[in-house]
Structure formats: structure tokens, C-alpha cells
Amino acid sequence: MNPDQSEERAGRPVGRRIFLGTLGLGALGVLGAPVLQRGTEGFLGDIAGKDPTGLTGLLPNGGGFRYYSVAASVPHPSPTAYRLTVDGLVDRPHSYTLAELRALPQTRLVKDVQCVTGWRVPGTPFEGVRLSRLLDAAGVHPSARALRFTCFDGTYTESLTLAQARRPDVLAALRMQDHDLGHDHGGPVRLYVAPMYFYKSAKWLSGITVTDRVRPGYWEDLGYDVDAWVGRSNGRTDAPTG
Ligand SMILES: Nc1nc2c(c(=O)[nH]1)N[C@H]1C(S)=C(S)[C@@H](COP(=O)(O)O)O[C@H]1N2
Ligand SMILES: [Mo]
């Protein structure tokens, strides 16, 4: 489906939730809620144009990235409190601490990032643990076909088939641009699916559940393609990310 169409179709019901979440309304401070809805939409209309998957503007030091969150507020777990749980159709479910994830072999990839709304950031290093390693450690059952990803923002979800998740360019990323992932970019751990549109790369990753079928994620329920290959989905023709 053409993403513009799906966004228009989805725009009204989800709009306010998205805007409230993504705009970092703390920054706008004084606006009251009723005013906020109109004021925010006008503001977004001006600066963001057709960028309804999230919201807003360039991050101050984002180097071309835009900040997205569909949740109104996102917790800041301490480095010791953070957990990434792998469960579902596996022999050995496990909740990883950040220290455990850091102790595993890390893979560094440098590819372009492409958002389905059009913006692209060239040559961005991501580093972390291959998902295939976490799956092997968990012992995936023969009946398994897919993964469902959940996030500690409490709202966002994503999915991959098992075959996609086992690709060497799919990571549980701990670092981006050679720094530990900051909160804005989904730290301490986000999914990084290099060959797909950036909506697949769920931020604030907290759960990986192995399932018997693909269950579409947050944006996919609103019309985005589940198989989100850059340049071969969502009615777009972007060059591959590398
Ligand atoms: N948890 C969560 N992950 C998310 C999103 C979101 O709203 N919430 N937005 C997605 C989209 S559409 C994009 S383009 C990227 C944006 O990542 P960034 O905020 O680091 O630029 O995050 C993806 N992952
Ligand atoms: Mo996006």
C-alpha cells in the first residue's frame, strides 16, 4: 500500500496519540491539553509536512535523524534495571541484563538508514548482538516461524519472520554512531534491521517473543508493509540501504 494513503487513512484516530508522544511537549510547556491538539497539529503541519509516523523535527544533534515515539512518555530504566527478555517458543527463555548483552560478541555494521516517510541518513554505524545469536542461545522450537518485538514504551511493537531475524544484518543494537544508544534513539537497546525501512528498528526494545506466525506490528496494523525491504515495499523505490 502507498504509505501516504495509509497515513491519511490512519491519521485521524492515531494522530493525537502520536503527536502527544512525539513532540516532546514538555518543550512546549505552557500549552494546555485542548489547545495542544490544535496547536500541535498546526505546528506539525508547518514544520513536519507529511511526516505522520511520528512527529517532528530534526534532533538537535541527530545528524539527519528525526525523533519518533508513538508513546506519550517513555521510561528511563537505569542501566542495571534494564532487561531484554527472550521467550515464547524456546527451550531456554532468558532475561538479559545490559552487562550480559555487552559481554556477548558485538557486530558493527555501517549502512544507510531510510525512513518510509522519505528521509535518509547515509553511512550510519550500528553495533550490537546479532539476533541469530540470541535465538541460538534460546533454542528455538521447530514450530516457530516468527518473532514479536515489544518495547518498554508500552506501545510500540514489531515483527520479523524467523528467516529475516536470522540474517547477519539484524541486531539488538547497543551502539549507534559509535556511542552507546541514547534514550532518544531507543537506548539502551533497539532493534536494528539494516535492509528494511527504519520503522522495523523498534526502539526501547524489551521483549523478543518467538511465535508460530507473524503478528503485524504497530505501523503494520495501520497499513505499512510487514515485509519492509527498502525500495521493494510500501510503494517506494528508494535505493537499498547497502
Ligand atoms: N518504540 C518505538 N520504536 C520506533 C518508533 C516508535 O515510534 N517507537 N518509530 C519508528 C520509526 S517510524 C522510525 S523512522 C525510527 C526513528 O528512529 P529515531 O527516533 O532514532 O530517529 O524508529 C522506529 N522505531
Ligand atoms: Mo519512520
Does residue 236 belong to any structural domain of this protein?
Answer: no
Atom of ligand 1 nearest to the CA of 68: 19
Please work out, in degrees rounded to the nearest 5, the angle formed at the alpha carbon of residue 42 by the alpha carbons of 36 and 43: 80
Domain with 158 in it: what CATH number? 3.90.420.10
More confident residue, 69 or 25: 69
Q: How far is the CA of 43 from the centre of ligand 2 (A)?
A: 19
Does residue 238 belong to any structural domain of this protein?
Answer: no
String of b and e for 212-238 (b: at least 16 CB within 10 Å)? eebbbbbbbebbbbbebbbeebbebeb
CA distance 214 to 156: 15
Does residue 206 contact residue 84 with C-beta atoms inside 8 Å? yes
Structure confidence by residue, pLDDT tens digits, 17-53? 343 334 433 333 333 333 232 223 233 333 333 344 5
**Domains contained in the chain, number:** 1
Residue 138: what residue type?
A: A
Domain boundaries, position 68: 3-222
Atom of ligand 1 nearest to the CA of 69: 7
Does residue 232 belong to any structural domain of this protein?
Answer: no
CA distance 146 to 165: 8
Does residue 227 belong to any structural domain of this protein?
Answer: no
Q: Which ligand is nearest to the CA of 70?
A: 1
Q: pLDDT band at 221, cuts 50/70/90?
A: very high
Does residue 81 belong to any structural domain of this protein?
Answer: yes
Over residues 175-188, the mean pLDDT reads 97
Does residue 14 belong to any structural domain of this protein?
Answer: yes
As beta bridge partners, residue 150 has 157, 207
Q: How far is the CA of 217 from the centre of ligand 2 (A)?
A: 13
Atom of ligand 1 nearest to the CA of 191: 24
List, chain by chain if needed, residues with CB within 6 Å of any ligand 1 atom.
53-54, 65-70, 115, 151, 153, 156, 185-186, 198-199, 201-204
- Is the pTM here over 0.75, yes or no? yes
| Cα–Cα distance list, 59 to 8, 82, 115 (Å) | 25, 24, 15
